[in-house]
Amino acid sequence: MDETTQGFRLGDGTLVPWGTRFDEVVRDFERTGYASRELACLEAYGFATRYIEVTAPRPDRPILTVAYELATADRPPKDVFAQLVIKLGMPSKIERDELSPYASSPSHVVLYANWKANGRPIGVSFYGAPRESDFGDGIGKLYVSWGDLEAAAAPWMPAWQAANLEVEQAARSIGKIQFFSVQYDTRVFPQDDPKRPADLCLNSPEILNTPQSIAQRLDDKRFALWSDQTGTHWHLSTLSDTVVLGGPETSEVRVAQMEPARGGGSATIDIGRWWVRDAWKSRTIADAEHALERVPGLTFKRYSGHDA
């Protein structure tokens, strides 16, 4: 399994290098956001398989993990696991749940183990019973990951850093600014997380760092709508996360009102992966919605329902 340092193999034997974008492998994927596709695959690393599932944070980002569905065969799961130990050595972590009342269920994982092979994470899970799929029954999954987020994000890092500099410059000469307070903590991508830049480049490049001059006027339950001095660019900022409104992923405002039911209810505003939440029929959310209606180039989708 040494070649996992280079990439992974598809069902036709093609070695796909790490760094290959999802949409270069799956060309008919039409959704946005998290991307996943199962492709027929009969063998991987000497094991009989049913399919390979390739996954990426977005269709236009590299495949970070593949999972091979291990086929039901003459060898029981314990023998497959033993073969992996021979190939990779003892795993760094093993978790068992064979005494669970659901241990005979195909939806239950009875054993999970992982390794770090030549810097690449490898894992395996086995089900309590064979699991059906469109490609045939499987006994578990073999996972192979790239494991290098910095390298995966590198092609998009300069553009993300440049966008942050533009927001910093806009914040030096603010045109208009309006503050809003909610009862719940705003969603944040922690700024002290060393993986934050790479994670955002790969998953949510529309999320930028909130300039310090804006952040110092906010807290965990306060956000701001503000423009540059010319009023050309508008922004929404929480304590740590900012979006520039009107971009490809920040032009649609989703407003949801969920009436109390089993849950206490809520009112939310989502733009891309930027998100704030307050109580049902929140005056703050309504005021923010009305303020956003005055920002050019935005569209709105409104939802209502019950907090089940």
Per-residue pLDDT at 295: 96
pLDDT surpasses 90 at 291: yes
Mean pLDDT score across all residues of the chain: 93
Q: What are the pLDDT digits (tens) for 133-153? A: 999 999 999 999 999 999 999
Q: Is the dihedral of CA 294, 300, 306, 308 positive or negative?
A: negative
- The answer on pLDDT for 1 being more than 70 is no
What is the value of pTM for the model shown? 0.89
Helix 196-203, helix 157-172: angle, nearest 10: 100
> Could you tell me if 35 and 55 are in contact, meaning their C-beta atoms sit under 8 angstroms apart?
yes
Pairing assessment for the beta strands 299-307 and 252-260 based on DSSP bridges = parallel
Q: What residue type is 154 in one-letter code?
A: A
Does the pLDDT of residue 190 top 90, yes or no? no
Rounded to whole angstroms, the Cα distance separating 218 from 240 reads: 9
Lowest mean pLDDT among 31-40, 103-112, 189-198, 273-282: 189-198
Confidence of residue 19 (pLDDT cuts 50, 70, 90): very high
Weakest-pLDDT range from 51-55, 71-75, 107-111, 219-223: 71-75
Confidence check: pLDDT of 86 > 70: yes
Which pLDDT does position 116 carry in this prediction? Answer: 86
